[in-house]
Structure 1
Amino acid sequence: MFSVTVREHLMIAHSFRGEVFGPAQRLHGATFLVDATFRRPELDEDNIVVDIGLATTELGKIVGEYNYRNLDDEPQFNGINTSTEFLAKVIADRLADLVHAGALGEGARGLTGIGVTLHESHIAWASYERAL
C-alpha cells in the first residue's frame, strides 16, 4: 500500500458537554497539526499516489473554514461535542467528497482510503480512517 501525507494546522475554540470532559466543559482553545494521508495499492499512471499540491490546497481550504473559529457558534456543530476524533472524521469525509468530485485530479479516483490525524500535542492525537 502506498501513501502520501500532507499537513496543515488548525486553531479553534470550543467547549464540551458532559462530566467526562472536566474543565474542558468551559470554553477553551485548541491548536492541532492536521495530517491527511491518502492511500492506494498501486501508483497512478504518473507514478504518484495523489497530486501533493492539490491535496495540500484542498486540505488548506477545509481547515481554513474552521480556523480561528469558535466551533460552538457554527450551526453545523450545534449540540455536538467537537472532540478531536469527531473533527478528524469531519475533515476526512470532506476530503472524500472532494476526491469523488474530482477536485484532487482524475488520478485521485484510484485512491482507496483516507486517514486524518489531529495532533493535540506531542503526546496526544486522534485519527479517523475511511475507505473510498
Structure 2
Amino acid sequence: MGDGMYPVDHLVEVQKKTLLQLGSGSAVTWDVRKKNHHTVSIAKTESYVRKWEFTFPEAGEYILIGQSSTGDGGYKKTAYPITAKIIRRELRTLSETDRKSYFDALRAFYTISQDDGERIYGSQYLSITYLVRQHLY
C-alpha cells in the first residue's frame, strides 16, 4: 500500500480489515506481533491459508510473520515490517458505510456527556464539553 509514497514498506489502516496474501498465491500461516513485544502473538492463523483478513487494532509498528512449506518437509519463515496508521480521508470520498460510521461517531462525541461516556466507553473517554473546557482555560 502507498506505492512508495510513504517512508514505510507496508502501510495498513487501523481498524480496517486488511487482506493478507502472498503475491505467489502460496498458502502460509500468518502470525501478527507488536514490534516492541515481538515474542507475543496478537493473532495467528491455525492452518495454512492463501488469504487472511486481519484488522490491526491500533496504530503502531508490527511484525507479520509468514511461514510457508518448502515441499520437502521443511518450511520458510519471512518477517514483514508493518506500520499501522490512522489514515485521513477527504469526507466526500468516503464510502457510504464509512461516512455513516464517521457521522455516528461525531454525533456521539457531541451528544454524550462526560459521565455517560465514561460509563459506556471507559475512563479514557473525553467529551466535547471536557475538551472545550480544557482548551479555553
TM-score, scaled relative to structure 1: 0.28
Which is higher, the Rg of structure 1 or of structure 2?
2
Which structure has more helix as a fraction of its residues? 1
